[in-house]
Amino acid sequence: MSLPYRPIQWNESKVLYDAVIAAGIIGYLLVFAAVSLATGPRPDLPEAGALLTRASGSLAILMLHALLAIGPLSRLHPGFIVLLANRRHLGVATFLIAGTHGALATVLYHSSGAMNPLASILIGNGQVLSPYEFPFEVFGFAALLILAVLAATSHDFWIACLGLARWKRLHMLAYLAYVLLLMHTGLGTLQSSGNPIRALLLAVGAALLIWLHWKAARIERAKDAEIHQTDVDGWLRVCRAEEIPENRAVIVNAPTERVAVFRHWQGVSAISNVCAHQGGPLGEGVVEAGCVRCPWHGALYFPHTGASPPPYPKAVATFNLRVVDGVLYLHPTPNPPGTAVEPAARPVRRGSARPAATAPGSQPASGPKEGS
């Protein structure tokens, strides 16, 4: 069965995100040019080419730092989730700038000899034993290949093709690209200028990224370590229904995965905390127009079925809940994705004996918004 390819669904936030990226790129290049002109002689054409190579290279590595920082930052503060929503656009832009740098460097430094430019980059310099002469461009080339693969597979179509887990593993290669680029820029700095400020900036950038990832991992580990009491049948104690804020969730650590327990207009429902789109934390989302909205990319799910509203085919696992003495208990065994479960602790309307909610499986009060 072939998967349908749907072009990018442009919306206001994506256009704004891309406009900010474009403005940032233009601003950086202008500042780079102004500083170069202010601190050095007016460049001729080859020097201008070399300047543009350095400007695009340094911009690409800066953008890669931003890309790798957004994930842990949004674990540390929800204010950064807005940057996460269209992070793939930043990834593609990073590849385009890095590709510009690679192409300029290839033309400037590898196209005037008798050797094929690609062969010149890969095997033109055999000085592999000295860091002062090592062919550092090979690392840049390898990193550029990785960035190209990541940019080419950034569309949702590839998540559907490869499956979320495999797609995520593939995109972890961004860290390998980063390490290769540390070697590329570190050795390049050593060989071209030995400029301590450039080396220091690189070290600070790497240290900052390591610290952010360590801090975010510590927070996640602490959340995983929260033990939920179980009763004799293995049901996990959650809390009283009224302790869950309206249209929000509490996240429960079941033995195998995190579960988001939502209080919504029909009662309380439990679904997997992991969004089927890109693994976003559903329990940090809200219920809007009858659907849970993923905080990362806005994918929607009915809380009582775990299924996305039509025409979206995504679904996450649901979990069974029961109420004992006013306390919610969750059974940690997931139901198959999209399985309807009657909401627990259904609210009773004042002055009426009937529950306010409609039957599970019914449509939300107003039409759900489109997922990303």
Q: For ligand HEM, give the closer residue by CB, 120 or 308.
A: 120
Using CB under 6 A, which of the segments 9-17, 59-67, 245-253, 310-318 binds ligand HEM?
A: 59-67
Beta carbons within 10 angstroms of residue 137's beta carbon: 22
Residue 122 vs 170, nearer CB to ligand HEM:
122
- The residue count for the chain: 372
- Which residues of the chain form beta strands (DSSP E)? 236-240, 249-253, 258-264, 267-272, 286-288, 291-293, 300-301, 318-319, 321-324, 327-330
Instruction: Give the footprint of ligand HEM on residues 101-160 (CB under 6 A).
Output: 101-102, 105-106, 109, 121, 137, 140-141, 143-144
Kindly state whether residue 312 participates in binding ligand HEM, applying the rule CB under 6 A: no
Contact segment (CB under 6 A) with ligand HEM among 7-15, 98-106, 294-302, 340-348 equals: 98-106
36 binds ligand HEM (CB under 6 A): no
Q: Which residues, numbered 62-91, are part of the site for ligand HEM (CB under 6 A)?
A: 64
Is there a contact between 323 and 232 (Cβ–Cβ < 8 Å)? no
Chain position whose Cβ is nearest to ligand HEM: 140
Stretch 173-192 residues interacting with ligand HEM (CB under 6 A): 181, 184-185, 188, 192
**Three-state helix/strand/coil letters over 198-238:** HHHHHHHHHHHHHHHHHHHHHHHHHHHHCCCCECCCCCEEE
Task: Provide the token pair at 215.
Answer: 């801090």
List the x/- string, 191-210, binding to ligand HEM by CB under 6 A: -x------------------
Residue 171 touching ligand HEM (CB under 6 A):
no
Stretch that binds ligand HEM, among 52-60, 213-221, 270-278, 293-301 (CB under 6 A): 52-60
Strand 318-319 to 236-240 pairing: unpaired
Q: What is the DSSP letter of 283?
A: G
